[in-house]
Amino acid sequence: MDAASPTPTDNQSSAPAVSIGAEWWRSAVIYQIYPRSFADANGDGIGDLPGITSRLDSLQHLGIDAIWLSPFMTSPQRDAGYDVADYCDVDPLFGTLADFDAMTAAAHARGIRVIVDLVPNHSSSDHRWFQEALAAAPGSPERARYLFRDGKGEHGEIAPNNWESVFGGPAWTRITEADGTPGQWYLHIFDSSQPDFDWTNEWVREQFRGILRFWLDRGVDGFRVDVAHGMIKADGLPDYTPPAAGGSMGGAAPAIGAEGAAGTAAAAAASSTETIIGASSSTPPVGLEPEIDAGWPESAPYWGQDGVHEIYRDWHEVLAAYPGDRVLCAEAWVEPLEKMALWVRPDEMQQAFNFPYLETPWNAAALRPVINESIRAFAAVGAPSTWVLSNHDVVRHASRLALTAENPQGHGIGPKSPGKPDRAVGLRRARAASSVMLALPGGAYVYQGEELGLPEVIDLPDDARQDPTWFRTNHERYGRDGCRVPIPWEAGHPAYGFNTTGASWLPQPDDWNDYSRDAQAGIAGSTLELYRTLLTARKQHGLGLGSVTWLDGVPETVLAFTNRGTTGAVTVLANTGSEPVEVPAPLLDTHVLQASGPFDGTTIDADTTVWFEASDR
């Protein structure tokens, strides 16, 4: 091979010699439905369960394996349903339990599994358990369900510690006792309407075992576990001041467009991880499991505490009593990846969202070590890596990857934000980035609308915004509404076919006709067809259970690897740079499976990813 040829960096012999489990979630593509914004059957402007049922054919056609639904349980909706007032019922906004059963049956009939959101860190303050706690006396068993504490100062007028809410402002609220006097304080890591449970209390644990069984009995295939890294707080609730640059839910500073802070740390790791290895296994290789607190950066006293693991071991047992590979997927904003991998040890959860990957900028030098480390760290505990680029808490990647100013997770972008993204650049990068993500082995998450190339909605009117972040920061942070706008189905229809009335809980932009599903279906080159082709090829080649080998001898702006799947192999070249690059000679006559942008067969343009059929299986 000449110098310009890609050469495999291949020391796969160091891969753990273990068998690969074939459970569905090891390779699944899971589609996140944000129920308020997916499809609205009754036309009140808020998406609902019958709406989801009516659109399942589109998801089957897209080729995903499972859906995960953000919360639809009874809730006053102060945090869009992440404030649950009854864990075992459907909020009338979204329908009924019968609607849920019908939706689940319809999904299963199409071969689509169903994952529901579980919110165990906190309930709504409207929950009967919290109302009973308010009515009971300090020190009572009812108060012990939550984290009530006496205040400091002569009259208890100072909050028990200095913690700040993720949404801004203090994490403590003082109550008025039943006799009308100023009373104790309760902890809420999120909004004041979301009191945190005390998970050291066995009573709380028992309630949640019952909640898991309630949904498992209804046939759900698993749970996405909200704030899975936050349920246990450090003993004594010590004061803590978070670093200024971090994301609001823990984790690192976020990516900026194609450069980004994350690039520096990731690049530093690059030299030590030249090759990787393959597919995850069901048996952890002995001796590779990381030791707890292996020199990792100090966690906030409310994130990533070791005590969470015994809760997940307990839940693992609850799920294991049911047939059919039910799953727990952790929302755990912890770093490094090796620490996150503790959440998916063989007796804990099955998956954890790979937020370090999400936070990596569109930059080959930064992406390669993160991908390497992800596969290595998760394989070391016998779990698959996961990959995710967007969800309902982050700026959509069709905008985020073109930001030119720092934008910490949860802050959002709005009319006055610096470094606003160029829409064409963002879409080009998003299509290229998704083409990388869907070529990787393990589980992948797709957030509703990304298959349409939807951008973040930046210019929502101030009076339309609903995220508590917007209110708790006195409008300093825009929050997450921009990624939650109801998605377009049919061009030229009221609310773009989200419903038939035109109502929409967040206003949709005027220029979304071209993003609508029907405007893209069957149109060569559309983002929808790109996703469909990638998902089909991913399945045909068995890439979800494959293994990655890096190809060297390409420009440093190019990410180049082969994924050898169980039934085929694909070589991926992603040009993250700003200049076109030549296709290396050995690939010139290779069959092209898909390109994320225009491709003439010889030159890969900036921000473009190409999948080649690989023959060297």
Contact partner at residue 393 from Ca ion, ligand NOJ, none, CB < 5 to 8 Å by partner kind: ligand NOJ
Q: Could you tell me the smallest distance in angstroms from the CB atom of residue 119 to ligand NOJ? A: 6
3 state SS of 87: strand
Beta strand 569-575 with 581-582 is unpaired
Q: For residue 388, which phi and psi values (nearest 5 degrees)?
A: -150, 140
Q: Are 375 and 356 in contact (CB under 8 A)?
A: no
Q: Which residue ranges make up the site for ligand NOJ (CB under 6 A)?
A: 79, 82, 119, 190, 226-227, 331, 392-393
| Residue nearest ligand NOJ, CB atom distance | 82
Q: Which two tokens stand for residue 310?
A: 């015994």
Contact partner at residue 221 from ligand NOJ, Ca ion, none, CB < 5 to 8 Å by partner kind: none
Q: Could you tell me the smallest distance in angstroms from the CB atom of residue 331 to ligand NOJ? A: 6
Nearer to Ca ion, 34 or 353 (CB): 34
Give the Cα separation of 43 and 75 in Å (integer): 20
Contact partner at residue 142 from ligand NOJ, Ca ion, none, CB < 5 to 8 Å by partner kind: none
Q: Could you tell me the smallest distance in angstroms from the CB atom of residue 204 to ligand NOJ? A: 16
Nearer to Ca ion, 51 or 441 (CB): 51
Nearer to ligand NOJ, 193 or 499 (CB): 193
Contact partner at residue 42 from Ca ion, ligand NOJ, none, CB < 5 to 8 Å by partner kind: Ca ion
Torsion sign, CA atoms 263, 265, 266, 271: positive
Nearer to ligand NOJ, 193 or 609 (CB): 193
Angstrom CA distances, 550 to 58, 431, 532, 564, stand at 35, 21, 25, 11
HSE-CB of 217 using CA atoms within 13 angstroms: 8
Contact partner at residue 40 from ligand NOJ, Ca ion, none, CB < 5 to 8 Å by partner kind: Ca ion
Nearer to ligand NOJ, 215 or 353 (CB): 353
Nearer to ligand NOJ, 308 or 530 (CB): 308
**Based on the number of CB atoms within 10 Å of its own CB, is 75 exposed (0-12), middle (13-18) or buried (19 or more)?**
buried
Residues 6+ apart with CB under 8 A from 306: 232, 292, 293
Contact partner at residue 196 from Ca ion, ligand NOJ, none, CB < 5 to 8 Å by partner kind: none
Give the Cα separation of 310 and 231 in Å (integer): 11
Give the Cα separation of 216 and 204 in Å (integer): 19
Token look-up 């939550």 returns 146
Nearer to ligand NOJ, 190 or 312 (CB): 190
Contact partner at residue 532 from Ca ion, ligand NOJ, none, CB < 5 to 8 Å by partner kind: none
Nearer to Ca ion, 42 or 590 (CB): 42
Q: Could you tell me the smallest distance in angstroms from the CB atom of residue 291 to ligand NOJ? A: 28
CA dihedral 95, 97, 100, 106 (to 10 degrees): -120
Give the Cα separation of 407 and 445 in Å (integer): 22
The H or E element spanning position 416 is none
Give the Cα separation of 471 and 150 in Å (integer): 27
Nearer to ligand NOJ, 186 or 190 (CB): 190
Give the Cα separation of 66 and 51 in Å (integer): 17
Nearest to 297, CA basis, from 250, 260, 238, 257: 250
| Alpha-helical runs (H) found in 443-483 | 468-472
Q: Could you tell me the smallest distance in angstroms from the CB atom of residue 373 to Ca ion? A: 43
Contact partner at residue 375 from Ca ion, ligand NOJ, none, CB < 5 to 8 Å by partner kind: none
Contact partner at residue 119 from Ca ion, ligand NOJ, none, CB < 5 to 8 Å by partner kind: ligand NOJ
Nearer to Ca ion, 103 or 537 (CB): 103
Q: Could you tell me the smallest distance in angstroms from the CB atom of residue 42 to Ca ion? A: 4
Nearer to ligand NOJ, 483 or 569 (CB): 483
Contact partner at residue 44 from Ca ion, ligand NOJ, none, CB < 5 to 8 Å by partner kind: Ca ion
3 state SS of 585: helix
Nearer to ligand NOJ, 483 or 543 (CB): 483
Q: Could you tell me the smallest distance in angstroms from the CB atom of residue 83 to ligand NOJ? A: 7
Residues paired with 117 in a beta bridge: 224
Contact partner at residue 216 from ligand NOJ, Ca ion, none, CB < 5 to 8 Å by partner kind: none
Token look-up 């070529």 returns 439
CA dihedral 315, 317, 323, 327 (to 10 degrees): 40
Q: Could you tell me the smallest distance in angstroms from the CB atom of residue 227 to ligand NOJ? A: 5
Q: Could you tell me the smallest distance in angstroms from the CB atom of residue 43 to Ca ion? A: 7
| Residue nearest Ca ion, CB atom distance | 48
Q: Could you tell me the smallest distance in angstroms from the CB atom of residue 473 to ligand NOJ? A: 14
CA terminus-to-terminus distance, the chain: 18
Q: Could you tell me the smallest distance in angstroms from the CB atom of residue 22 to ligand NOJ? A: 30
Residues paired with 330 in a beta bridge: 225, 352
The H or E element spanning position 321 is none
Residues in the interface with Ca ion (CB under 5 A) total: 5
Nearer to Ca ion, 46 or 427 (CB): 46
3 state SS of 201: coil
Beta strand 182-187 with 327-330 is unpaired
Contact partner at residue 226 from ligand NOJ, Ca ion, none, CB < 5 to 8 Å by partner kind: ligand NOJ
Q: Could you tell me the smallest distance in angstroms from the CB atom of residue 123 to ligand NOJ? A: 10
Q: Could you tell me the smallest distance in angstroms from the CB atom of residue 333 to ligand NOJ? A: 9
Q: Could you tell me the smallest distance in angstroms from the CB atom of residue 392 to ligand NOJ? A: 6
Give the Cα separation of 408 and 401 in Å (integer): 13
Contact partner at residue 48 from Ca ion, ligand NOJ, none, CB < 5 to 8 Å by partner kind: Ca ion
Residue 162's CB is within 10 A of a number of other CB atoms, namely: 13
Give the Cα separation of 51 and 94 in Å (integer): 9
Q: Which of residues 18-77 bind Ca ion (CB under 5 A)?
A: 40, 42, 44, 46, 48
Nearer to ligand NOJ, 331 or 518 (CB): 331
- Binding residues (CB under 5 A) for Ca ion: these are 40, 42, 44, 46, 48
